């Protein structure tokens, strides 16, 4: 797949929009999921996903193949979501709709997805945007500190600090709910 991806990236860098469809199909679900986890709002996540791919298309010529493509696209999506969080500073109110874009095809998966949405909403209400971003990248997307540093531009120390504070807050929220 990596060779296939590299070929499509090179074609995109030369203006081939058909090759971009391959990249879109490969990463659309991943970017939507990340955006939804950060923004906790389906419409905002769709917008962020679209904005991400517009920015990817506009800047694919600057992509350096020495880095993983997924890290590069995560960084773009994270920055878009983080900017949206900073601008809006909302309380992350969400409506859980029955027909969520990209929802799980089976009933059990849909129930688990809704539980995840509720969990994220509960923690999102109190976390500052930077802590939320680091927490989601680390705990939900299961990325390592090195990759989070590349995506967010934060130092290892700031990542550890934000993650520690976010986990502390989440633990306190869980204890409150018990």
Q: Do 110 and 63 form a contact (C-beta atoms < 8 A)?
A: no
Q: Whose CA is closest to 68, among 1, 159, 135? A: 1
pLDDT digits (tens, 9 = 90+) for 68-89: 999 999 999 999 998 887 776 5
Please give the Cα distance from 173 to 5 (Å, whole number). Answer: 41
Q: Do 77 and 41 form a contact (C-beta atoms < 8 A)?
A: no
Please give the Cα distance from 14 to 51 (Å, whole number). Answer: 21
Please give the Cα distance from 74 to 56 (Å, whole number). Answer: 10
Residue 129 has pLDDT above 90, yes or no: no
From residue 122, alpha-carbon distances to 32, 67, 113, 132, 163 in Å are 20, 34, 14, 12, 17
Please give the Cα distance from 169 to 139 (Å, whole number). Answer: 14
Q: Tokens at residue 37, please?
A: 């986890």
Q: Do 89 and 124 form a contact (C-beta atoms < 8 A)?
A: no
Q: Tokens at residue 124, please?
A: 């999102």
What average pLDDT is seen over the chain?
Answer: 81
pLDDT digits (tens, 9 = 90+) for 19-41: 999 999 999 999 999 998 888 88
Q: Which CATH number fits domain 2-177: 1.10.1740.10, 3.40.630.40, 3.40.50.1820, 1.20.950.20?
A: 1.10.1740.10
What percentage of residues in the chain have a pLDDT greater than 70? 78
Sequence spans of domains, the chain: 2-177
Can you give the pLDDT at residue 96?
Answer: 32
């Amino acid at each position: 797949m990596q060779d296939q991806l590299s070929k499509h990236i090179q074609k995109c860098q030369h203006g081939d929009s058909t090759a971009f469809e391959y990249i879109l199909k490969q990463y659309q679900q991943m970017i939507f999921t990340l955006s939804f986890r950060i923004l906790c709002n389906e419409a905002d996540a769709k917008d962020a996903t679209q904005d991400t791919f517009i920015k990817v298309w506009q800047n694919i010529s600057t992509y350096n193949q020495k880095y993983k493509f997924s890290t590069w696209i995560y960084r773009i999506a994270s920055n878009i979501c983080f900017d949206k969080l900073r601008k809006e500073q909302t309380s992350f109110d969400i409506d859980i709709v029955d027909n969520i874009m990209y929802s799980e095809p089976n009933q059990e998966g849909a129930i688990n997805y809704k539980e995840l949405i509720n969990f994220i909403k509960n923690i999102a209400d109190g976390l500052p945007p930077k802590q939320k971003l680091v927490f989601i990248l680390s705990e939900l997307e299961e990325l390592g500190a090195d990759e989070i540093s590349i995506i967010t531009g934060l130092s290892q120390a700031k990542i550890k600090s934000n993650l520690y504070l976010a986990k502390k807050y989440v633990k306190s929220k869980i204890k409150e709910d018990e």
